[in-house]
Amino acid sequence: MKKSRDVIVIAGLAFLLARCVNDKTTEITPTVKNNVSFQLDIQPIFNQECIMCHRPMMGVAPDLTNGHAYESLINREGSIMPGDSGGSELMDMLHGGGDNPMPPGTKISPMKIALIAKWIDEGAKNN
Ligand code: HEC
């Protein structure tokens, strides 16, 4: 009798533990590689997610098109703090916070957000 109760308790604990582990994995920031390249990793994200609005023809600043994105972002006060993704306004926007969530009304994938954060933390280089 006592044994079967122990089994139930253990099963219950295992269930709770599994749920905790599960909850964690859904919130964890995806791990991304080191040495993120602006040109190879970040610009393609802008091309897919941003330039339909952020290009000269649309008149929406900053210009995020190839060859212009780096300069426009780095020169925009507060948008990007090299080495400090947490202090960069762009990250708040991508997380859907602040006055200007970007893209408006939706979010890019956690993997893309993590790549941009990593690129900033690695110094926001024009590499
Ligand atoms: C559907 C169109 C659209 C898309 C897609 C979009 N944006 Fe924007 N973005 C805007 C508009 C419009 C503004 C100007 C908002 C304002 O000035 O109030 C803006 C403003 C910004 C600003 C400047 C905010 C400021 O404080 O002045 C940044 C930085 C930005 N967007 C980054 C991005 C990035 C990065 C992406 C892609 C991940 C993106 N946007 C996707 C429409 C868009």
Pocket test for ligand 1, best of 54, 65, 92, 99 (most atoms within 8 A of CB): 54
- Using omega within 30 degrees of 0 as the cis cutoff, is the peptide bond preceding 104 cis? no
Residues 47 and 53: their CA atoms lie apart, in Å, by 10
Task: Answer whether 54 contacts ligand 1 (Cβ < 6 A).
Answer: yes
Q: pLDDT tens digits, residue range 5-31?
A: 777 777 766 666 666 555 544 557 789
- Ligand 1 atom 2: the closest Cα is on which residue? 53
Buried b or exposed e, range 66-99, using 16+ CB within 10 angstroms? eebbbeebeeeeebbbeeebeebbbbbbbeeeee
- Best CA proximity match to 81, nearest among 121, 33, 51: 121
Q: pLDDT tens digits, residue range 49-80?
A: 999 999 999 999 999 999 999 999 999 998 99
Which of ligand 1's atoms lies nearest the C-alpha of 105?
1
